[in-house]
Amino acid sequence: MLRYELCGMDWNNSRIYKFLPMHQVCAIAKDFLNGIGFRPGRRRAGKITTIAELGDFIASRSAFVSQKTLYGYVQTRMGMNYAKNFQDEVFLASLNIAKMHVFAACLSDLAIYAVAETTAGAHTSHETCRAIARQCFRNAIEENAGFAPTARWAPEAINEFEERLKDTIWEFGALKPENFTRSPRALVRWSPIAPELKQFDTEIVENSIKFAWLEVREEFRRRVDRAAILAEAGP
């Protein structure tokens, strides 16, 4: 499990020392959002040939997209005040809650798509598709459960994903960009921005994460070795 201690920050309980220089606060803000889903060497560039590598791709890209869009929205909305807010413990707690919920939503969207893309045209059973997606999703959730804002975060995320799996149409709907529904909603819902401001931002914020997924899907299609993963998964 990841643990960070930098410039007076204990990332396990979000304590931060006051009166840091501005450049240090900005660096802490970025490190805080970098804290999920990444470990040295995980962002590989070669072919994805195993279910374990498929899970790594899903987890690392979900972490990247969630942190990029959340950080970008918060920074844009707060303007010059955003660095000061990173010295506020209440704000940090709210941001941690948002970070984990957006991450889980990104995992849900990408896991469904990646498995559907991998098995497209292969006549893979729905049971096998669900099993692969479940393994990738659960591993990422359990790996990052130490960052959870509450003990309910992991089981609730897993239960919601299980319900989604029941309704997934692997041969059609799961392959569509429109199936990326959880992450845009979660980004708007959980971002620590006042509701009276969010009402003006919804379309732009949702489009920002939809746009971020374009590159991820393109990269996945380029790197996935469908035959190798299907051989491991079975019929």
Buried b (16+ CB within 10 A) or exposed e, 172-193: eebbeeebbebbbebbbebbbb
pLDDT of residue 25: 45
Q: Which of 74, 64, 125 is nearest to 98 (CA)?
A: 74
For residue 19, the SS3 value is: coil
pLDDT, average across residues 201-221: 95
- Report the percentage of the chain scoring pLDDT > 90: 58
Selected residue with higher pLDDT from 21 and 36: 36
Q: Given pLDDT bands bounded at 50, 70 and 90, which one contains residue 88?
A: confident
* Cβ atoms within 10 Å of 34's Cβ, excluding its own: 15
More confidently predicted of 219 and 175:
219
Helix 182-190, helix 51-78: angle, nearest 10: 40
Q: To 5 degrees, how large is the angle CA 198–CA 199–CA 202?
A: 75
Rounded to whole angstroms, the Cα distance separating 184 from 28 reads 25
* Cβ neighbours of residue 73 closer than 8 Å, sequence gap 6 or more: 187, 191, 193, 201, 205, 208
Does the pLDDT at position 23 exceed 70?
no
DSSP string, 175-216: GSGGG--HHHHHHHHHSSS-HHHHHHHHHHHHHHHHHHHHHH
Task: Quote the CA–CA distance of 173 and 36 in Å, as a whole number.
Answer: 29
Residue 165 has pLDDT above 90, yes or no: yes
Instruction: Quickly state the pLDDT bin for 35 (edges 50, 70, 90).
Output: low
Look over the chain and give the mean of its residue pLDDT values, rounded to a whole number.
83
Q: What is the pLDDT of residue 39?
A: 42
Per-residue pLDDT tens digits for 120-154 = 988 999 999 999 999 999 999 999 998 888 999 99
More confident residue, 77 or 29: 77
Q: pLDDT-derived band of residue 71, with 50, 70 and 90 as boundaries?
A: confident
